[in-house]
A = this chain, B = another copy of it.
């Protein structure tokens, strides 16, 4: 019998002082519940996403000191926790102090180790360096340590021996990625087993939420657990961590798998809750009740992640009020409805900023939204200021200081569109947000951000881009979900959902005439997803070859028959493809460099998980060949 407490704590990144106290109170609670072991997440003391804070020795010393104080608490309870492990006498490859992503096992005020290992802690074997992870930047992995010591990984990966209630246990300690070994040459769990026997695997993680990841984890971990015939306790933290450009929620969802690979306990996601479970090693644990875990890839999950992420981000920057520019369109309506659930209607100020191009339809919808939400509302027209700006630019004499000549510039209609967008955000919203005592939101979605269909310092501005990891079709889905399931009434006006999406920056974008964005979301959402989210990222070469093989819709996952309905000719198809590819790899990159932080939902949010350079437009050689073939074929068919 082993009573295990899952310390699914909220880890505050960069705050070892707070995390230490959170751990203390969970330890007290675990003792109260007669736990023999309490397990905390990976990097429970420092937090995980800290940028380069790891390069501050003073910070490292503090984490080490708090870790030592946790060890002091391990009387009558075994405490397992993640922290930075430091060897002040060795160097990392960058010449800075040697740091490990480590798991500490403390019992009776001592750290448990084994003779084969040079440190009184275990270290991470597999370090992720894809997506938003940069483990190798700061942490020295076990395989590197093995090389340095002229040992084998197999020598260093040993079970930890632990005596609890007069019974001896052998623990197999894994840190996060160690259990995701499919693509690695090393399988830490298999090695531990070989060096076993192992009574219990633990995996301490700091694993950000990604849509669908828990389903995958449960498949992978259940499969492995069953294969190894050893139970596994997975402990992950909750909370919010960021690496500047991208903000991640952590859902915890700590889970216990029995040796049959069944889930016998889990902590509710996003809840900083201590959960205890008793594992009976003597009995056939297949008798223990199996728990069904909630699915995690539906629209309800997305809503929850957005809600949790926004709430925690606002807390972390101590922002209590926001201003939201509302156009009557879907993106600002969803954003407004979300913020109201978090801050209350009295702390959300919606501002409608019409120009001569805004229809009565959308103005009414904006006003209706404010009414439905019961929040603060203001109308601040921008036409006067925009007209003034255009006139000021058109009329200002530009003098050549060499020749003495003077001339005038001229504001084109396209330039005037961007002047409107910047007027709204940088002139009105930024000013009014400061006067209101808060920030203003960025309401951009992922489709727009992909091709830069937004104005820098205009609608792309804001302190947080909360829905910028949702494709446009997901924004619609969440609008319906918010009405039906959250407010359970129509707060987002029905017409906002059915209206043609439009920026309304010129009469060419009149919603009353059914005109709107150049993006055909049912197709472009999926095209862009192939550029951005496919694990092997698609380029025009792939898209064109799929188009020519007539498997494009299948490959993109969009509606069948759509492509030929949208594009009458191959030329139209190619023009469209090249238009967006050029923007995605060009101007949109420049805009994303200056974009607000994005709240991550998908497996590839913009920012730190989508590294990019501002390079020139490129088409592969085979793309050019395919294009020639296509047009030759088209000609031949005529």
The interface of chain A, by Cβ under 8 A from chain B, is: 12-15, 17, 47, 49-53, 55-59, 61-62, 65, 91-97, 126, 128-131, 134, 136-137, 143-144, 147-148, 153, 182-186, 241-245, 247, 316-317, 345-346, 349, 370-371, 373-380, 384-385, 388-390, 392-394, 396-402, 409-412, 415, 418-419, 422-423, 425-428, 430-432, 434-436, 456-458, 461, 463, 535-539, 541-542, 589-590, 592-597, 610-616, 618, 620-623
Contact = CB atoms under 8 A, between A and B. Distances in A.
Given A316-B616, A594-B596, 20 more contacts: A14-B618, A51-B610, A53-B615, A58-B539, A58-B542, A129-B137, A143-B147, A148-B185, A242-B613, A244-B589, A371-B401, A377-B398, A377-B400, A396-B432, A409-B435, A410-B435, A422-B427, A422-B431, A425-B426, A426-B458
A46 to B, nearest CB: 10
A239 to B, nearest CB: 11
A49 B589 CA distance: 14
A538 B55 CA distance: 9
A112 to B, nearest CB: 26
Contacts of A95: 182-183, 535
A317 B590 contact: yes
B55 A536 contact: yes
Nearest to A392: B380
A392 B431 CA distance: 10
Given A58-B541, A65-B621, A92-B183, A593 B245 contact: yes
16 contacts: A51-B611, A53-B615, A96-B130, A129-B134, A244-B589, A346-B400, A376-B400, A380-B393, A389-B428, A393-B431, A396-B432, A411-B434, A419-B427, A426-B426, A426-B458, A463-B590
The number of times this chain is found in the oligomer is: 2
A620 B401 contact: no
Nearest to A145: B185
A61 B611 contact: no
Given A409-B435, A536-B55, A49 B388 contact: no
Contacts of A419: 427, 430-431
A428 B131 CA distance: 39
Contacts of A412: 435
B401 A415 contact: no
A393 B62 contact: no
Given A13-B615, A61-B622, A597-B614, A384 B378 contact: no
Given A370-B401, A431-B389, A47 B615 contact: yes
B62 A622 contact: yes
A312 to B, nearest CB: 12
Contact of A373 (B15, B401, B427, B537): B401
A584 B130 CA distance: 28
Contacts of A55: 535-537
A536 B57 CA distance: 6
